Structure 1
Amino acid sequence: MRTHGAPRTAALRLPDTGHECAQARAFTNRTLTVWQLGHCRDDALSIVSELVANAVVHARPANPADGAEPEVWLKLTLRPHHLVCAVTDQGSALPACPRTTDQLHEHGRGLHIIDALSQHWGWTRSAPTGKTVWAMLPTRRSARTDGTATP
């Protein structure tokens, strides 16, 4: 895997089809195969799924009748030691980790999952409206105490 020099980037616009998460996972899977990052696949697919699901829900236009389609982009960037998964949407709602005591509640767990799987995550505002939510995964295989690499 070549990680020296300029970062590699792959981007995908996700049209409002109802299959955005599946498209994002397939795109991520293909990109990680090309970049020889199979050892990052499971965590990256989970993170991308959560980021895209949040963006699709929170980027919906206030008035769907006006014909405006939500603009959602997935961008993967391979840096020397990290894979950055970033999703940009036009929603004004900022990411928040809701607190819930119900472990079986279907909503509100996405950012907790991203936090658990990534080394770092955060968000930035996009101009003129919207935001980008990103998560970083280390690309190096970690060494176990017995000296073998973990997959």
Structure 2
Amino acid sequence: MSKVTRATQLLAKAGVAFSVHTYAYDPTAERIGMQAAEALGAAPDRVLKTLMVLVDGKPACAIIPSDHEVSMKRLAAALGSKAAQMMTPADAERITGYKVGGISPFGQKRAIQTVIEMQALEHDLVYINGGQRGLQVRLDPADAVSVLNAVAAPLVA
């Protein structure tokens, strides 16, 4: 497994302090984010999952703790929109350039609106997918917000 991805390159170029962590990715896991947390020995609320969504028909990215589900109403409201829905896996892969299970909010093919669950900002460090299955980057969530030009909002039900 390469520890250099578009995601890690973007973070390094932006001067963000981060560390790379690998684990044995299980493609059969029912909840990939929870499997990552367990494999890393990290609290599930510190391992954030990247969800690709459509908000009023436009691609967006939601980053939430792996032990929660996103509220589509809250997500839409955070972006000043009316409706949100999950993107199909095929569309998520096409738009991001990453494989499902390895989708990172960093280094996607093009910049899209991103919202991060504001509870994540209460932690000093969080894990976010590093652009490859079984690869996570650990960083300050405030740095993630800054690099992604993300909005922090309540997203979980």
- Fold shared per TM-score above 0.5: no
Bigger relative CO (Cα 8 Å, ≥ 6 apart):
2
Whose strand fraction is larger, Structure 1's or Structure 2's?
Answer: 2
Tell me the TM-score normalised to structure 2 length. Answer: 0.30
Q: Whose Rg is larger?
A: 1
Tell me the TM-score normalised to structure 1 length. Answer: 0.30
